[in-house]
Chains A and B, each alone.
Chain A
C-alpha cells in the first residue's frame, strides 16, 4: 500500500505488430496489454516499471492461431504529459522478455528468453488546461501511445515490433 500511495498507475490495451527478423521471417499482428506503475520520486519523468503482454497471430502461411506470445517486464522512465504540458511525452524502457517465438525452420515455435528496448510517445487525449486548472491530487488521463521495440531472443533471434496503445493513467502522488 505504501508503494501504491507513492505512485500512479497506467493500464493500456492496444494493437501490436511484430516481425521476427530471422529465417523464417515471420510478420505477426496481435493484441497487447500493458500495466505500469509510475514512481514520481524524482523531478522530471517518472520511474516506471510494469508488464507488457502480447498475443500474436502470424500473418503468412494461414496464420498460427495466436500461438505466439511475448511477456515483457518494462523498466524505465515515462513522461506522460499533464494537461498543462505539451501534449506529447516520451518513454523509454529496458524490457527483459520471455516469448513463444519463431526461432528456426526446424523448431518454428519455442520458448525463449531475451532482452529488448521499447520507445514510446504518449500522446495526451484530454484538452489542454492551464496549470491552475490541472493541479488535482489525483487525476485520470487517457493517452494514445505509439511505440516501437526491438528484442533479442536467445539464441539469435531479433524481434522488432511496433504498436499503438490506448492507455488510462491514474496520476497520484499522495505521498505524505
Chain B
C-alpha cells in the first residue's frame, strides 16, 4: 500500500513538473578569425501537419486548420570552416522556417538530437512569421494557453515531430557538406511591396522624413511612392546570400547553386485570420519560385546530372539535388505587405511578384570571394531587470517582468482582431496611462489580472542572442520582431563597434537583423514608439528600455567577435543554460493520430470550377482516411499524373520564356508547389470526405496542351480522379461542390453528391 502511494505520488509530481532542458557547456572559441574556404550542406525539413491542429499568429483569431495549401518547411544551411569543426565559430546552421515563430524549447529539442554535430549556440532557427503555420510547440504558457489560438494547447508529440524533422534535415545537411563560395548582394530598392502600418508610432522617433530614393528604382514604379509616406517609411534593404558549390580541384570554378538566403523586412501576411489552410503565405511562394530558378541553373551547370531530379532517385545518382531558398525576416515589426483581398489568390500573385524581385537580386554565380569569414558569438541572457548602457553610456534597466499592454488587444492595423470592434480595444493609439513602474506608460492588458502573465514561464525570459559573421555581413539573431527603426538602431551600434574593433581584413560591410530567431518575445519598439502604446509598443514585453537592451547586447557580442577579452566578455558567453518550461509534456491531440480504422477509399467526383479565374480550376473530392491516417505529412500526397498506363507523373518545363534558361529539371506538378488546396470536411460512411482544388496558372494550362491527365491521391493504393484535358474539362461543379472546394463548407450527406458522369451528359 505504502509503495503504491509513493508511486502515485511520484507520478503526480512528474505530471505537475514542467520540461527542463539541461545546460550544455560552451565550446572553445578561436583566438583569431581568418577567411577560409567554407563547406556548406543543405537539408529540407517537412513541417506540414495534419488538419486538427491550430494555426498560430493571430492569437484568439487563429483558426483550426482543416487542410493545407503550401507545404511548410525548414531549410537547413549548414556552414562549416574547412579547418574543421571543434570550435564554436567553425560551424553554424542557419535554418529559416516557414513558421510563425520559434520556441526555445523547439530549438533545444533539435539541439538535443544533433548534439554530436552542433552545440545549441550553433543553431540559428528563424521563422518567416507566416500566420498560417502550426502552433502548439511552445514551452511558454502564454503561447499555448487560452487565447493563444482558437484551439490552444501544448502537444508534446507535435513538438517532437517538428524537432525530429529538423534534426534529420541537419544530419542530411552534414552529409552533404561540400566546398562552397558565398556571394552577397546588398541593395536598397525593396519598394512597393510593403508599407509601414504604424506610421503614428514611427513618427514618434523624431527622425527625418523617409527619403524618396533618387533615382527611382524600377520597383518604385509599382506604387505611389512619393505620395504615400507609409510606403517610404520602411526598410528598403534587400540582402541576398548565394551559395555555390565549387570544384575542390579548381576553386575558381562553380558547379551550380547549393542554395540562397534572402533577407528583407516585411510580414509575409497577406492571408487573413479566417484562413484555415496551413501554408507559408507569401514567403511560401518566394521559396518555391526561387528554388525552381536555382534548379534550372543547377541543371544548366550539370546537364549530365539533371536526371538526378527524377523521382524515385535513379541509379548512379549519389543524392537528389535540392537547391534551397530560405527567407529570413529582418526588422519587420511595423511593416506589412501591401494587400487588399487577403485571400490565397492574392498571396499567390503577390508572392510571385516578390519572388521575381528576389530572384533578380541574386548575385551572379561565384561572384563572391573564394574564402569567407565564419564566426559567431552567442549569449543566453536573462532579460528581466537587465542592466544596460545606451550609446551615450547612460545606464538603464529593463523591466523585471513581462507584460502586454492594452494596445496589443486589437492586433495590427492591417489585421485587427475580433475584439478590435470593442471600444476598449480599438486599434487607434494611444493606450497609455500614467508612467508607473518599469513598464512606464503601458496600461496592462488585463488590468489587475495581468499579474497572472508575469509568472515564470508565461513568456520567455532567458533570451538567445547571437551575432554571426558570414563573409562580409554580420547577422544579428534576435528573438523578436523589431520595428524598422528599432532594428536600424541595433545594426548601427553593431557597425559602430565593428568599425572600432575589426581589422580591415575581416571588417564587415553590413549588419542585418535576423528576427524571430530561436525564441519569441513578440515585438521590439523604440522608446519613442513605446510611448504611444500602439500595437507594437504595447507588445514590447520588457518595457521602454528593451530596444536599448538589445542594442547593448548585440554591441557586446559584436565587440567580442572582433576583440575578445576574457575579462570583459560575460562568463556565460557561448553557454547553453539550463532552461525550464512550465508546460507539461502530454498529448493534447493537436497532432492527429493514426486510428487504423478500415476505410473505403474512393474517388467521388471531379468537376470544373467556373468562377472566372484566369484558368479553369479542377475540384476533386474523395473519401479517404482520417487526418492522422492519410499519407499527408510527407509530400507529395497529391499530384497530377498522365492518363496512361502506370499513371506517370506529369512534368512541366515551366519555361521562363527565355530558351537559354532551360526547364525546371524537377517540374512535377504536385502539392509541393502552390497549385493544390486540400482540406478535410466531415466523417462519412467509409472514412472522411476530402477535397482538393487544383488551381494551375494560365502558363501551366498552356503548357499542358491537350494531354489527358488525372489528379492522384497517394497512399497504400493510389486513388485517381476523372481524366480531363484542356479541351475536355470535367462537368461544371454544382454550387455546393464549389463551396466544398473553395471554402470548406459543410456538405450534405454523401448520397446527395452526384456520381461521376460522362462529359456528354454534363448538360452544362
Name A's B-contacting residues (CB within 8 A).
2-3, 6, 40-43, 84, 130-137, 173-176
- Per the 8 Å Cβ criterion, residues 47-74 of B in contact with A are 51-52, 54, 60, 63-66
Q: Of residues 419 to 451 in B, which have CB atoms within 8 Å of A's CB atoms?
A: 419, 422, 424-425, 445-447, 449
Does A42 lie within 8 Å of B147, measured CB to CB? no
In the assembled complex, the CB of B741 is this many whole angstroms from the nearest CB of chain A, namely: 15
| Nearest CB in chain B: distance from A49 CB, A | 14
Contact, CB under 8 Å: A176 / B746: no
Q: A132-B66, A137-B60 are in contact. Are A175 and B680 (CB under 8 A)?
A: no
Could you tell me the dominant secondary structure of chain A's interface residues?
A: loop
A175 contacts across to B, CB distance below 8 A: 60, 146-147, 446
Tell me the bound Cα distance from A135 to B150 in angstroms. Answer: 5
**Can you name 29 A-B residue pairings with CB atoms under 8 Å?**
A2-B446, A2-B449, A6-B449, A40-B146, A41-B146, A43-B141, A43-B146, A43-B583, A130-B66, A130-B682, A130-B683, A131-B51, A132-B51, A132-B52, A132-B680, A135-B54, A135-B63, A137-B60, A137-B418, A174-B60, A175-B60, A175-B146, A175-B446, A176-B60, A176-B147, A176-B408, A176-B409, A176-B424, A176-B425
Collect the chain A residues with CB atoms within 8 Å of residue B446's CB: 2, 6, 175
Q: A2-B449, A175-B146, A176-B410 are in contact. Are A132 and B276 (CB under 8 A)?
A: yes
Q: Mark B143-158, 1 if CB is under 8 A from A, else 0.
A: 0111100111110000
Asked if B452 is at the interface (CB within 8 A of a chain A CB), the reply is: yes
List 9 extra interface pairs beyond A174-B418, A176-B424, CB under 8 A: A43-B583, A132-B63, A135-B64, A135-B150, A173-B60, A174-B419, A175-B146, A176-B406, A176-B425
A interface footprint on B103-144 (CB within 8 Å = 1, 0 otherwise): 000000000000000000000000000000000000001001
For B453, give the chain A residue with the smallest CB separation: A41
- Which B residues are closer than 8 A to A by beta carbons? 51-52, 54, 60, 63-66, 141, 144-147, 150-154, 276, 406, 408-410, 417-419, 422, 424-425, 445-447, 449, 452, 583, 680, 682-683, 744, 746
Shortest CB-to-CB span from A85 to chain B, Å, is 8
Instruction: Give complex CA distance A81, B60 in Å.
Output: 19
Return chain A residues, CB-CB under 8 Å to B141: 42-43
A138 to chain B, nearest CB (A): 10
| Contact residues in B for A176 (Cβ distance below 8 Å) | 60, 147, 406, 408-410, 417, 419, 422, 424-425, 445
Contacts A41-B146, A176-B425, A176-B445 given; indicate if A135 touches B151 (C-beta within 8 A): yes
Among B150, B406, B417, the one with the most A-chain Cβ atoms within 10 Å of its Cβ is B150
In the complex, A176 Cα to B446 Cα: how many Å? 8
Residues of A within 8 A of B150 (CB): 135-137
Q: How far is the CB of B224 from chain A (nearest CB, A)?
A: 34
Q: Report if A131-B64 is in contact (Cβ < 8 Å); known contacts: A43-B144, A176-B410.
A: yes
Q: What residues of chain B lie closer than 8 Å to A137, measured between beta carbons?
A: 60, 150, 418
Q: Are B151 and A131 in contact (CB under 8 A)?
A: yes
Q: Are B447 and A43 in contact (CB under 8 A)?
A: no
Pick from B52, B54, B417, B446 the residue with the most CB of A within 10 Å.
B446
- List residues of chain A with CB within 8 A of the CB of B145: 41-43
B52:A131 contact, CB within 8 angstroms: yes
